[in-house]
Each structure stands twice: as C-alpha cells, then as structure tokens.
Amino acid sequence: MTEHHKDYLGDKFGMWLFLFTEILLFGGLFLLYSVYLHRYPAEFHQAGLELSRVFGTANTIVLITSSFTVAMAISALQQGRRVLCQGLLASTIVLAGVFMVNKYFEWSAKIGHGIYPGSPELVDGPGGTNIFFGLYYVMTGAHGLHVVIGAALLGFCMLRIGQGRVTADDFGLLENGGLYWHLVDLVWIFLFPLFYLIS
C-alpha cells in the first residue's frame, strides 16, 4: 500500500499517551506502597535503614546523568551532528549498564544477608518489614526491567541513525526514545526517596 503520511505531532501524542499508561502501571504499585506505609510506619522506617544510601545515591546520579546525555543526543541530531549523537547515545546505554550492575551488587548483598522474597528471615520477621522488602524487590525490579527496555530502545535508535533512517529532519523516533528514558528516570526519582531516604 502507499506510504502513510508522517504525522510528527501524532507520533508524539501517541508516545505521551503510552507514557501515561506506564505511570499508571507504576501507580498501582505506589498505591500499595502508600497504603502499607500508612499501616506500618515504624517497620518501614526501620527497614529503610538497611538499604545502602551510597548505592542508591550513586544510581540516582547515574540516571540523572543519563537523562542529560539523552537530551544532548537529541540536540546533537537536530544540529546534524550524527557522530556526536551516537556517542552520546552510547554513553547513555553505558550508564544504563552501570545502573544495572550497581543494582546487581546491591541485590546480591541483600540476598546474601538473607533478605529476599520468601526468605525465612523475612517470613518469620515482622509483617511490615516483609512488605517493605517485598515492595522494594517488586518496584525496583519493575523499574530495572524498564531500564533494560529503555536502553534497548535507545540502541535501536542508534541503529536507525546509523542506517540514515532517523535524521536531523526526521528525529521523531529518537525524541520518543528520549521521552521514554526520561520516564524511566522520573520513576526512579520517586523510588529513591521512598526506599532509601524513608528513615
């Protein structure tokens, strides 16, 4: 069939709607969090102390930096500086990798201490603590999954730029990829205080 007309605004509009659905998806989890925080304030504060603020802060900085590099990548492409754009995207993906590696060590340490879903320590301990760590794993896990998807999306953008299909005149895909990445960042900005700074 014939090529469909490009509708730049329409594409962006669609992306914003999609981001909305992502926020609502996490919204369900935030809802659970707030109800349980209300029910177990003491346990939540206590359990929050066990999370490493160093890891958390490091990862926050990593993600914020990566949002910055994505934003610069888009500007670079708009100015027609293709190689720079690809370099910036590559660094974003590397930062995503750093985030995940950090997460890996953080989770391993917790698991090493016997804190993981269904572990005897949590199951036999106070309910509020179990819920706190349960939510911690579910929410940061869901977020981590989004980091991976976002990085893959940016990788795809790099590929398209390399093929010359995403260009200075037609950068909708990259812009939408960037929007998605900002969402990933935004969700983390909420997760960080809720888990690491709660006490």
Partner 1 sequence: MPSPGETVPFLDPYPGRSGILSWIFSTDHKRIGMLYLWSILTMFAVGVVIGVLMRLELIAPGRTIMGAQTYNAMFTLHGVVMIFLFVIPGIPAAFGNILLPLQIGAEDVSFPRLNIFSWWLYLTGAALAVTSLFTGGGPPDTGWTFYVPFSERTTTNVSLAVVAVFILGFSSILTGLNFITTIHRLRAPKMSWGKLPLFVWSLYATAWIQLLATPVLGITVALVFIERLLGIGLFDPARGGDPLLYQHLFWIYSHPAVYIMIVPAMGVVSDIIPAFARKSIFGYKAIAVSSLAIAFAGSLVWAHHMFTSGMSDTAVMVFSFLTFVVAIPSAIKVFNWVATLYKGSIYLEPPLLFSLGFIFLFSAGGLTGLVLGSAGTDIHVHDTYFVVAHFHYVIFGGTGFGLFAAMHFWFPKIFGRMYDRKLANASWYLLIGGFNMLYFPMFIIGLMGMPRRYYDYLPMYQTGHMVSTVGSWVLVAGLVTMFWGLSKCFHGPRTVGRNPWGAATLEWTLPSPPPHLTFLDPPDEVPSPYSYEGVKRDD
**76 vs 174, which CB is nearer to partner 1?**
174
Alpha-carbon span 141 to 60, nearest angstrom? 15
For residue 187, give every residue at least 6 positions away whose Cβ sits within 8 Å of its Cβ, in sequence order, or none. 22, 23, 26, 143, 146
Supply the minimum distance, in Å, between the C-beta of residue 14 and partner 1: 5
Supply the minimum distance, in Å, between the C-beta of residue 146 and partner 1: 13
Q: What is the DSSP string of 88-128?
A: HHHHHHHHHHHHHHHHHHHHHHHHHTT-STT-HHHHHS-HH
**60 vs 129, which CB is nearer to partner 1?**
129
Instruction: Write out the residues near partner 1 by the rule CB under 8 A.
Output: 1-2, 4-5, 7, 9-11, 13-14, 17-18, 20-22, 24-29, 31-32, 35-36, 39-40, 117-118, 122-123, 126-131, 134-135, 137-138
Alpha-carbon span 64 to 68, nearest angstrom? 6
**56 vs 128, which CB is nearer to partner 1?**
128
Supply the minimum distance, in Å, between the C-beta of residue 53 and partner 1: 24
Supply the minimum distance, in Å, between the C-beta of residue 130 and partner 1: 5
